[in-house]
Structure 1
């Protein structure tokens, strides 16, 4: 190559490189698609911390599925079991004697929390109802006339709720038929119909051929030859489902189902038609006893447009910088645009539609809900309302839909709002419930809706939008994370997920982080409820795990990124919940443990249940409240907000008081241990799980530290100080692993999704590189656990591998997390859906938050007394820039790195603390002033030559440091 040509080549590469870097910076953080959502997990989420919406973006029929964060089943009640404490010592004794089964049986019978309704009354009602629905077998008859029955496509893998039978529990009949060839006559046949939820009674030609009530059992029934005839034979199945998902759900393996074949082999088989007739016999079974309540969907808003479905130039997007969802397309030669947002300042869901031709916008707006009890009615000439009552609960909800149009004809009746021949229109939806507090349901949702609507009326769309964007950006703009764009960056989001690799699309990592921040802002705002298992979004009356607050990992994981990613204010709902749980948990501590303070087990709900639930082998777990107290201390460490610490310190103190009483001496080792408890969610009821001891140690340490800051309770703190070394320590087992239990019984083949005993590595700091032997043992444990898992499990591993300073292995977990949640065969597994929602499966939002937290751990770690920069940077992320990332001690940092090396650092000091920094093997100490900013360029891996910038009032006499 000639010199001049070589110079031009180098110049070109440099320009391209610079352009790529600038392009990465300019890339809008957005999700976008070329088609409407086919499923709920394709839709785009909007939220303001109280109201939520999933936008499907349909062309002719648009759907907004709506949520309001206080709409739950159940109601205020007692959760703690009076007198349970008298069984505490017997359970402990059984565990000490190695009688785990007996301890679990006693716990199940006498120690669990209360259900609503209670089991005894339910069992009587259930039997009476069951007898009544079984008394009618007429639909089983071979000649039964089912011509007027509707049809359903079977199987329904997610239950019939997803197939149009939302909210249906009870007894349903299904019918179809199959043809028997002459060569099969005289032979027994096998009817294979897969798994059924819950009970089935299966008939062929009017005769019962099988019945079962095991939802995990594949139904294969023998049809006696004597029942069969040549030609058409009828199949009728009565399915009885008392609660949750129901129906013929098939098998997950993809194997053939709905077949009939001769006994002895299925090579020669007849497939049943997948379209079945069905009939709802009785959809009012008695209410199932429940330990806790379920988060509920609120309503559905449909817009049915006057144009057809045949469109071009379709584009659907969610812009993270503005929290605006948009849909655009061309229909019949006319351009149409839609914008959606949920305003925090105006507490409303807003939709705005425009047509590119005057008078071309015609639509009908309809409100509906999954709840059985609801009324839609006209309020005035611009307003439609929906009122609903939660089934098996006390709460009521009301929503108002208000329409504004610049032209055209607007009409409202008791079923819909109709708009004809307009050019632009806006719709505002407000909603409220009768929830006032976890103890009070006397709020007036009608009055609340009227007040909310009054704040939105007579305000232009542009004004509403501007207020929304300004308010949202106040939170979102505090942080940015950019990396060079790859060749796949411009693809639709679903294709980016499917084709993800770091060479072609490293920017999907930064998009994921920014999306997670967006989701936290959307689902957790001051004054609202905390983000639940699904954030704020749920479309099912019986959502997975109740869409509650699981406190043995999932609720806490939701808030892992809040402090480090500069969204401290979004934690306010969590701390309000802690205040309430501390009150509710006081009674549980008294009734179940005879202890002061407060306790929380592994789940809670809107009504702040704190007692053990589900089953004794995993529900009796005592450290949920102690874990939540870590968030109190972390919030103080990041913000240095002493007033906040003073307000929350009583919760930390009371939690510590509980464990000071609860811990007992292990007769074999002499250590203080936590018993009874478990290591979530495996191994059953035990004495002394490692995770408990890690959490309790940190609770005691943090409470002592908080008391020192506040100058309180010196005598009790001294007592805690003496107790810490008496708690059973972390132990290394025979496989060089960190033991999960007191006994060295870990199975190295165990790849359970929970990595509970690694809590002390992350999110705790009970195990750090100050004790390299324990860190190496913890690392060995994680190697044994494997690299698979559900979405949130993978996210937890992202964080732990980062704490091990192994960025490449941490990135491997992100790659696994970015796996499409639904594979080419339609099977679901851990990963992400098309809208980047995390998959357990099904959807759980904790993996979004946990994954973002782990990526932040690549860039900054500050849990061990020093702020370490790029401690776990993956080799496949050599270039990037982060602004606004936070560290303990009250510091906000900007970092830029190239070719895997730190280039520049900027630090803003909130409180004027001394900043101790580490990069590689170099450690430096930087004295700071409050509200001052410090910058340096990194040379030879060293942090020096700091330049200070001070607020105007501090500039006098200041200069360079």
Structure 2
């Protein structure tokens, strides 16, 4: 049986057996909605829908509505080799340098010879030289000469000029503004503070060059000589060269003023600001393709619905109904009530938009297809259909989208630019999209044919039939779980106001909504047959998304799937396991080329093309345990489902990951322990030998692989090898501050509040440190206390799970409150929270915090990693009453629970596979010999009812 069929069958079984007798009287009627009293102003206000392959963001405008959409396989890049042949010859020297304490030298050697191969790296330098010569032919005088069209632009834009209207722009761009010099400053040298610039700047004042620099981390502060200045207005001109990714004048993440002028040597606080009315002129927007280690996920396009003479709306309401996966907009205008419904249909493989009015003939609109891709065209397909074709700039993939309209009465006109409707009673739009991607090695698909086929599957169906089909399919996933944590009047508030006012006591229902929103997002972006959820799930509006919106495998990809098993969405893990299988195939080449080792290896990122080599920089890109961590999800899936056939299919992937480390580990000359080298503690502390996290993950891999082999009755000798190697691995260590050491050496800084808490992996999601090792658990808790209660969104989500594992419910809820804080009012680059649409803020948006937070809240209520079901292990005092149904546990059990005044009242256990179920609640322990398919009911004392 294939993985996908196994997952689909599992979902069917769970949908049949997962409805326990214990009912949630209040929560079944609970309004699981995100709701607002105004349209979205920005992308993180818009509401997400998705069917695994297509993702849409619904803005809900009145005069103009926008549906920004994605297709999961539209990426930059191409099938290619990512690993660097011959890198393994440098492995020994790098290890030796690290053993000698020469970290800088090791990083330099690794940077030169051990990193993966970049796309375009061979031809780029020659092309760059020619391009630079071309753009340097225009000097400042020529740039300011008449004949160029200068336009207005907001400066600065922290996320690049892309965020203020120049999406997709790379190249040479001129900027100009002015500043006034007071008479009192005459004859003085001045300093201009410009902050950071992407990537190169040439800065002029009154035609005189005053500075130039390169690098986005450098803060430009240039001296303006007195001779170049005059009293009154002075002109500032900056030529910016941006080679790839985001560009422009982006400011700095600090309190010191920028875009100001002040006397040299004086205080920046005593300044004259630059005129904020900046203008720009694009000299050349065709730089050569920049070398890139990995590809980036891309937006596809936008549907714009334009409504002439919309009038001033009243009674405006916008919502996302999680029970139905439908977004709605309603308002009144000119005496007519208008409604719209949007959903992403998995059966129909389309985004559906349905418009109605309570007055006949009141629907008049134009529908347009647009895209941020420069290589895009639209064309008329037939008298009801408009098509959009796109080609990514840096890559081989192309895509085609069809927008079809079905109208009740009225006139429909389709041109190459738009669909126009006049005087219609009711309108349904069907949006499909496809790319030329077949798999990570094949891009020969026909997107035109695929987009047309998807349209044909729903053609002729009435809207009510499309909607009913969508609801049946979606609710097969969503209705398997319910949670009620209490209610308050705040539930009636708009969601953005609820976030502003949130506290667990005042609005416990927002926590329940957040859990269900996490499930909704996972269902929407990770259906069987689709791609795995990336850094933004399936939703992205930028050609230059942060971190490429890739798959970051040193926590973020894994965190995306933390809630899947416990929150009754096991079927949604199928795309992850397919990614793992493909990465395992690609990772064998990297293991051989970089480590001369068998098996497979994955470093800290991968993409659509399954790159597995080290990327970015040697001080954090050489991290070897991505494959080992991902295989934990294989074992976890078996633990929750007891699906032996699935385990049999996936065991070879686990074994190959373990085989790599059997070969890779070396003996530390100082301690005699086996250690992982070279590697790093993710994104912290540089390239090192023997980071604690590596050893925790490898121990877990060896343990899980051995257990899987035992279940399958195979590889007895290999199990002995794994046990032997595990016993020799460097152990967890307690340092001088009472902390769990992050590295082999005792060098932790107790004032360090870094976002990664990598050395606590053994507490969660691992099981290397448990209540059976109380000293280590205490040291791990001390480390977490040192790191503090703030952090980026995903970091806060990890801390929620860790505090739950420490069984400190109140501290768990404190971190959850921080996770739900309003991101728009946060300060600093390391401050997480949520946006108005409840998307997690890294910042910027990363979806892993949504998934990790949902998993952590479930972890408060049931834990099963220790071989028994621990009931209400971290229940906060602020949530004294609640009810949950459909919560899953290892061993193949599904639970429903009620608690009041902080005490368990009632418990139901569905045994999906049979076997012994051991229950712990406080000091009580009960063991049940269960039968497959049977439900067991107990009271708060764990006595049978």
Q: Which category of TM-score, normalised to the shorter sequence, fits these structures?
A: over 0.9
**Displacement of 1:35:** 0.7
Q: Compared with structure 1, are the counterparts of its residues 272 and 353 closer, same or farther at alpha carbon in structure 2 (3 Å cutoff)?
A: same
- 2:58 pairs with 1:55: yes
Task: Specify the SS of the correspondent of 2:390.
Answer: strand
Aligned to 1:817: 819
Name the SS for the 2:491 alignment partner: coil
User: For 2:269 and 2:867, how far apart are their aligned partners in 1?
Assistant: 67
Distance across 2 between alignment mates of 1:591 and 1:210: 44
Quickly say closer, same or farther: Cα 1:461–1:793, change in 2 above 3 A. Answer: same
Match of residue 522, structure 1, among 521, 524, 534? 524
Report the secondary structure of 2:490's partner residue: coil
- Give the conservation status (yes or no) of the 8 Å contact 2:809–2:874: yes
Matched, 1:630 2:629: no
Q: Match of 2:14?
A: none
Query: Which residue is equivalent to 2:566?
Result: 564
Counterpart for residue 859 of structure 2: 857
Alignment of 1:655-674 (within 5 A): 655-674=657-676
Kindly provide the CA deviation profile for residues 105-130 of structure 1, in whole angstroms up to 9, marking residues without a partner as x. Answer: 11111111111111x53122212212
Is 1:176 the counterpart of 2:145? The answer is no
2:942 maps to 943
- SS of the aligned residue for 1:362 comes to strand
Secondary structure of the 1:698 match is helix
The alpha carbon displacement at 1:207 in A equals 1.6
- Pair 1:667–1:565, CA change in 2 (3 A): same
Unaligned 5+ segments in structure 1 are 1-20, 947-961
Mapped partners of 1:725, 1:828: distance in 2: 38
Kindly indicate whether the alpha-carbon contact (under 8 Å) linking 1:821 and 1:828 is maintained by their aligned counterparts in 2: no
For residues 449-488 of structure 1, the aligned pairs below 5 Å read: 449-488=451-490
CA shift at 1:715, angstroms? 1.3
Instruction: Give the C-alpha shift of residue 673 in structure 1.
Output: 1.1
Q: Deviations over 1:829-881 (max 9, x none)?
A: 31111111011110000000001111111000000011000000011110111
Aligned to 1:438: 440
- 1:165-244 matches, within 5 Å, as 165-244=166-245
Q: Counterpart in 1 of 2:87?
A: 84
TM-score by length of 2: 0.95
TM-aligned CA distance change 1:24 to 1:455, over 3 Å: closer
Deviation (angstroms), 1:180: 4.0
Quote how far apart the aligned CAs of 1:97 are: 1.5
Distance (Å, rounded) in 1 between the aligned partners of 2:182 and 2:721 = 83
- Decide whether the 8 Å contact of 1:730 with 1:739 is kept in 2: yes
d(CA) in 1 for partners of 2:557, 2:140 = 49
* Conserved? CA contact 1:139–1:173, under 8 Å: no
Please identify, of 215-224 and 591-600, the stretch whose mean Cα deviation from structure 2 is larger: 215-224
Q: What's the counterpart of residue 33 of structure 1? A: 36
| CA–CA distance in structure 1, aligned partners of residues 258 and 690 of structure 2 | 46
Aligned residue among 897, 919, 922 for 1:920: 922
Q: Is the 8 A contact 1:155 1:274 kept in 2?
A: no
User: Structure 1 residues 256, 675: closer, same or farther in 2, change over 3 A?
Assistant: closer
For residues 549 and 887 of structure 2, what CA distance do their matches in structure 1 show?
30
Q: Is the partner of 1:843 in helix, strand or coil? A: coil
Cα contact 1:140–1:207 (8 A) shared by 2: no
SS in 1 for 2:719: helix
Offset from partner CA, 1:374-425 (integer Å, 9 cap, x none)? 1100000000001111111000100000001001111000000001111210
Structure 1 residues 522-671: aligned runs within 5 Å: 522-671=524-673
SS at match of 2:632: helix
Deviation at 1:672, TM superposition (A): 1.2
Matched residues in 2 for 1:179 and 1:843: separation?
39
Contact 1:140 1:237 in 2 (8 A): no
- Contact persistence 2:253–2:828 (CA under 8 A): no
* SS of residue in 1 equivalent to 2:608: coil
1:275 is paired with a residue whose SS is: coil
Q: Is the 8 A contact 1:601 1:624 kept in 2?
A: yes
Q: Deviations over 1:418-461 (max 9, x none)?
A: 01111210100000000000000000001111111110111111
The higher relative CO (CA closer than 8 Å, separation ≥ 6) is in 2
> What displacement does 1:220 show?
2.9
Contact 1:307 1:332 in 2 (8 A): no
**Partners of 2:677 and 2:271 in 1: CA distance:** 56
Report the alpha carbon displacement of residue 229 of structure 1 after superposing the two structures with TM.
Answer: 3.5
Q: Tell me the secondary structure at the aligned position of residue 91 of structure 2.
A: helix
2:21 corresponds to which residue?
none
CA shift, 1:255, in A, is: 5.0
| CA RMSD, 1 decimal | 1.6
Q: CA shift at 1:177, angstroms?
A: 2.7
Deviations 1:677-709 (A, max 9, x none): 111121111111111111111111111111111
Quick check: 2:27–2:482 contact (8 Å CA) kept in 1?
A: no
Write the mapping of 1:790-805 to structure 2, written as runs, cut at 5 A: 790-805=792-807
Which consecutive residues of structure 2, in runs of 5 or more, have no partner in the other structure? 1-23
Separation in structure 2 between the aligned mates of residue 618 and residue 218 of structure 1, nearest angstrom: 23
> Scaled by the length of structure 1, what TM-score is found?
0.94
Residue 398 of structure 2 corresponds to which residue in structure 1? 396
Q: Secondary structure at the match of 1:808?
A: helix
Are the equivalent residues in 1 in contact too, given 2:919–2:926 (CA < 8 A)? yes
> Aligned runs of 1:791-940 on 2, under 5 Å?
791-823=793-825, 829-938=831-940
Whole-Å separation in 1 of the counterparts to 2:813 and 2:212: 49
Change (3 A) 1:926 1:139: farther
My pick for the range that moved more, 308-317 or 784-793, is: 308-317
Aligned CA distance change for structure 1 residues 640 and 618 (closer, same or farther; 3 Å): same
**How far apart are 1:181 and its partner, in Å?**
4.7
The residue number in structure 2 matching 1:18 is: none
Bigger mean CA offset, 163-172 vs 261-270: 261-270
Aligned to 2:422: 420
Report the CA distance shift for 1:626/1:678 in structure 2 as closer, same or farther (over 3 A): same
Tell me the distance in 1 between the aligned counterparts of 2:363 and 2:261. Answer: 53
User: What SS does structure 2 have at the residue aligned with 1:884?
Assistant: strand
Secondary structure of 2:471 counterpart: helix
Aligned counterparts of 2:872 and 2:298: Cα–Cα separation in 1: 42
Q: Is the 8 A contact 1:113 1:613 kept in 2?
A: yes
d(CA) in 1 for partners of 2:619, 2:183 = 54
The partner residue of 1:101 within 91, 99, 104 is 104
Higher mean C-alpha displacement, 171-180 vs 734-743: 171-180
Once the two structures are superposed, what CA deviation does each residue of 1:62-84 show, in whole Å capped at 9, x if it has no partner? 11111000000000000111111
**Would the alpha carbon gap of residues 778 and 48 (structure 1) be closer, same or farther in structure 2, given more than 3 Å must change?**
same
Aligned length: 921
User: 1:706 & 1:140 partners in 2: Cα distance?
Assistant: 70
**Secondary structure at 2:492 match in 1:** coil
SS at match of 1:489: helix
* Aligned residue in 2 for 1:259: 260
Residues in 2 aligned to 1:82 and 1:840: alpha-carbon distance in whole angstroms = 35
* CA displacement, residues 3-42 of structure 1 (integer Å, 9 cap, x when unaligned): xxxxxxxxxxxxxxxxxx9655522111011111111111
Aligned partners of 2:816, 2:714: CA distance in 1, in Å? 43
Structure 2: how far apart are the matches of 1:745 and 1:194? 34
Distance 2:193 2:670 in 1: 54
3-state SS in 1 of match to 2:117: coil
Q: Secondary structure at the match of 1:117?
A: coil
Q: What is the CA–CA distance in structure 1 between the aligned matches of 2:830 and 2:863, rounded to whole Å?
A: 34
What residue number does 1:956 align with? none
User: What is the distance in 2 between the residues matched to 1:260 and 1:438?
Assistant: 52
CA distance in 2, matches of 1:231, 1:785: 51
Task: Indicate if the aligned counterparts of 1:175 and 1:235 stay in contact, CA closer than 8 A.
Answer: yes
CA contact (8 A) 2:565 2:637 kept: yes
Residues 733-761 of structure 1 deviation map (CA, whole Å, 9 limit, x = unaligned): 11111111111111111111111111010
Is contact 2:790-2:831 (8 Å) kept? no
Q: Return the offset for 1:52.
A: 0.3
Partner of 1:69: 72
1:796-849 deviation per Cα after TM superposition (whole angstroms, max 9, x unaligned): 010011001111111111011111111188988311111110111100000000
Higher mean alpha-carbon deviation, 98-107 vs 638-647, is at 98-107
**Would the aligned equivalents of 1:140 and 1:236 in 2 still touch at CA under 8 Å?**
no
Report the alpha carbon displacement of residue 713 of structure 1 after superposing the two structures with TM: 1.1
